[in-house]
Chains A and B, each alone.
Chain A
Amino acid sequence: GESVGLHLPTLSVQEGDNSIINCAYSNSASDYFIWYKQESGKGPQFIIDIRSNMDKRQGQRVTVLLNKTVKHLSLQIAATQPGDSAVYFCAENIPPGQFYFGTGTSLTVIP
């Protein structure tokens, strides 16, 4: 379902370190997940997606892991850069096609 009125958790990492952002989802019927990046005052930007029949997917500097047993999703960013500073949301698709966003995590990269 939808996140409700929660303030964003924050994560601070040193430039060059790896970042791990976590997300818990609640609906076992969710069959598709997306990670989005949102910079201040802008719309969400697609990063990477994964279907429920997979447990890992890699992109450029990013990896998404899906653990359906505990309904957990994570986004790993390798060699984090200052331009990665943003708010990151996971979104789950609940068939037949409703997208719900997680609470989000604010990532700050320290130069």
Chain B
Amino acid sequence: GAVVSQHPSWVICKSGTSVKIECRSLDFQATTMFWYRQFPKQSLMLMATSNEGSKATYEQGVEKDKFLINHASLTLSTLTVTSAHPEDSSFYICSATSGSRSSYEQYFGPGTRLTVT
């Protein structure tokens, strides 16, 4: 149980275009979802926290107008990278908490690799 999926797993796009990444909890209801970004050989950096039906809370330094997060249901959150540039190329990982067993236990998705050319 507690499976989180991401789609797509890898996307290549041209500079200036927008890319949407989906994060789904497959067998539980995710009250909170987190989005992380990871550059090669670096740690995961928390970008934002989203609760279903409310606006996402962004970490300092993360542009909310560039990284649009929508948590429309208890099983789906989307991250849209708007007007992507090569420096946005990274590994984007989502995680979700169910709040049923432990409010702290996070389940991670497999990640989405974004390459902007």
Contacts and interface: CB of A to CB of B under 8 A. Distances in A.
Bind each other: yes
A35 B104 CA distance: 13
B91 to A, nearest CB: 8
Interface residues of A, number: 27
Contacts of B15: none
A6 B111 contact: no
Interface string B43-68: 11110010000000001000000000
A3 B111 CA distance: 19
Which residue, B32, B41, B97, has most C-beta atoms of chain A within 10 A? B41
Interface stretch (A12-20, A53-61, A92-100): A92-100
Nearest to B107: A46
| Size class of the contact patch on chain B | 20 to 34
A103 B43 contact: yes
Contacts of A42: 110-111
A45 interface: yes
Contacts, number: 70
A41 to B, nearest CB: 7
B43 A43 contact: no
Contact of A43 (B41, B45, B108): B108
Interface in A41-69: 41-46, 49
Nearest to B2: A46
Nearest to A42: B110
A49 B102 CA distance: 12
Contacts of B34: 99
B104 A32 contact: yes
A104 to B, nearest CB: 5
B110 A43 contact: yes
Interface of A: 2-8, 32, 34, 36, 41-46, 49, 89, 93, 97-104
